[in-house]
Amino acid sequence: MSTDHQAGQPQPDERLVEAFASAAEASIGYELDDEARQIVRETVKRHQTMAMKLRAAPLANADEPDFAFVPYRAEG
């Protein structure tokens, strides 16, 4: 994590942003132009910023995700 000195807000690690932006582009079967590539990069950066905010919420190991898995058994 780096720091944006102007805004005083922590900023996502640029290496992570580059890595996830590259992974997103590699996931699709076609080439992006420079403008689209920049949008993907900015969106990844927003995702990383959101992830940092989520990490600030206090969670213990026992705090489970809010979904329940229900084992399946067909009727009859």
Partner 1 sequence: MAGDIYNRTIAELGKLLRNRETTPTELTRMYLERLDSVARRYNAVVTITEERALREAANAEAELAAGYDRGPLHGIPWGAKDLLAVEGYPTTWGAVPYRDQTFDADATVVRKLRDAGAVLVAKLGMVELAGGMGYKQPNASLTGPGITPWQAEESPSWSGGSSSGSGSAVAAGAVGFAIGSETWGSIVTPSAFCGITGLRPTYGRVSRHGAMALSWTLDKLGPMCRSAEDCGLVLDAIAGHDPADPTSSQRDYAWPPATLRTSGFRFGVLSDATAGVQPEVRANFEASLAVLEEIGTVEVVSLPDLPYNDVASVIIQGELASAFEELMTSGDVRELTAPEDRVNGLAALALPAHVYIRALRVRRLIGRAMDELTAWYDALVAPTLPTVASPIDQPFDRYFDRSNRSPLGAAANVAGLPGVAVPNGVGERGLPTSLTLVGRAWGENDVLAAARAYQARTHWHTRFPL
Residue 10, interface with partner 1 (CB under 8 A)?
Answer: no
Tokens of 14: 């640029």
Residues 18 and 45 sit within 8 Å (Cβ to Cβ): no
Length of the chain: 76
Q: Considering beta carbons, is residue 4 or 67 the nearer one to partner 1? A: 67
Residue 24, interface with partner 1 (CB under 8 A)?
Answer: yes
Residue 1, interface with partner 1 (CB under 8 A)?
Answer: no
Residue 66, interface with partner 1 (CB under 8 A)?
Answer: yes
Residue 10, strand partner residues? 3
Residue 36, interface with partner 1 (CB under 8 A)?
Answer: yes
